[in-house]
Amino acid sequence: MKTLLVIYSKTGNTRAVGKEIAERLGADIEEIMDIRPRKGLFGFIRSGFEALRCKPAEIRQPSIAPKEYDLVILGTPIWAGRMSSPVRAYLQQLSGSFSNAAFFCTCSGQDYESVMKDMANVAKAEPVATLEVSKEKLVSQELASLLDKFVDRISSAH
Ligand SMILES: Cc1cc2nc3c(=O)[nH]c(=O)nc-3n(C[C@H](O)[C@H](O)[C@H](O)COP(=O)(O)O)c2cc1C
């Protein structure tokens, strides 16, 4: 199964989780990149504001076509209770291009279900599996088994 993992990460958590998932599945990786940097307090406020307003960020042109993959796994941090604005931009640009999808998010521990639903709506793809990795789970012993289960759910859907 040809698998693509697409992530956006501002502070590294979503990237770290994504790399673990990609290794388990032998997936290619596309990292969504901002055009404008999001440093400091102003970057933090702008990020929260964009997410809350469902405003897509300006992102660099993706380099990999998701249509060429059997499965695309998309990972986002949660910002202000929503998907991050760079992931919204990516999903809007490529909406309808995902034959099979799975979603995950990293967060401080809230709003997971509504974010997964919003991603499905924007991507026009019903996920075969979803996963939430909270701050506690990220550093816990159970992370590896959570990721294994997520990968199993994805693999058994095919
Ligand atoms: C602007 C901003 C807003 C955030 N809002 C939320 C939130 O509403 N709920 C939540 O659980 N975590 C929130 N967080 C925490 C991030 O989702 C969490 O730290 C995530 O793992 C960051 O992923 P990253 O390291 O890949 O950027 C927010 C972080 C930022 C920068």
Closest CA to 105 of 123, 88, 84: 84
Integer-rounded Cα Rg, in Å, for the chain is 14
Which residue among 29, 107, 135 has the greatest number of ligand 1 atoms within 8 angstroms of its CB, and so is best to mutate? 107
Given this model, what pLDDT does residue 26 score? 97
Axis crossing angle, helix 40-52 with helix 85-94, rounded to the nearest 10:
50
Structural element, H or E, at residue 110: none
The first and second tokens of residue 109, run together, are: 């521990």
Tell me the average confidence (pLDDT) per consecutive run of 10 residues in the chain, 158 residues long. Answer: 97 97 98 96 97 98 97 98 98 97 93 95 98 94 96 90
Q: Which atom of ligand 1 is nearest to the CA of 14?
A: 26
Give the whole-angstrom CA distance, residue 12 versus residue 102.
Answer: 20
Given this model, what pLDDT does residue 110 score? 75
Given this model, what pLDDT does residue 157 score? 85
